[in-house]
Amino acid sequence: MRTKTILSISLLSFAALSSACSRHKVAAAPTPTVSADRAASDAADRENAKLRADADRAASEREEAAKTRATDQSAITTPVFFQFDQSTISDEAIRLLDQKVDALQRNPTVRVRVEGNADDSGSDEYNMALSQRRAAIANRYLTDRGVDASRVQIVSYGEERPACKTSHDDDCRAKNRRDEFVITSGM
């Protein structure tokens, strides 16, 4: 019986001790999860900011490339004009042809067709030969400055494709004395 009493007292003591400990709990140290969550959030914010900056930079580069492509396309397709009954290149034509050379060198896959044209002064045969010389001189200018000859094709239209059809005065005819530059591939 004595063992039962000691056992009972031991159990009661244990129960009392357990209940006393539960009433006077010591506050646990704050868990580090708040700090870890903030660090993870900051890292995610930095990564998102980097991704946004990369996307903005890529969009800016695409926009710049599109502007350059449009500028090059305009430079290539701008016509070159000639004086009456001439196939010599003027100072203005040299400036335009130099822009074409630069644009073609930046765009090595672009191919062009130089279309020689003439006004309606003179015979059909003469105008075909004159427009052929005009296209050939522009072609020679481009190839002499490094544009591969395989990228340039020439054609002569004579007076068949006038840019101005409204009248037969000098201003209208001057618009017909030209080389047109048509991009055939690569842009």
Does residue 49 sit within a domain? Answer: no
Pick from 173, 89, 96: nearest CA to 127: 173
Does residue 169 sit within a domain? Answer: yes
Domain with 161 in it: 61-185
Does residue 14 sit within a domain? Answer: no
Does residue 43 sit within a domain? Answer: no
Q: In this structure, is the dihedral angle defined by the CA atoms of residues 146, 148, 149 and 151, taken in order, positive or negative?
A: negative
Q: Tens place of pLDDT for every residue, the chain, 187 residues?
A: 565 655 556 555 555 555 555 555 555 555 556 687 888 888 888 999 999 999 999 999 999 999 999 999 999 999 999 999 999 999 999 999 999 999 999 999 999 999 999 999 999 999 999 999 999 999 999 999 999 999 999 999 999 999 999 878 899 999 999 999 999 999 8
pTM of the model: 0.72
CATH number of the domain residue 81 falls in? 3.30.1330.60
Does residue 179 sit within a domain? Answer: yes
CB 124 within 8 A of CB 155: no
Does residue 41 sit within a domain? Answer: no
pLDDT tens digits, residue range 53-97?
999 999 999 999 999 999 999 999 999 999 999 999 999 999 999
Domain count across the chain? 1
Does residue 148 sit within a domain? Answer: yes
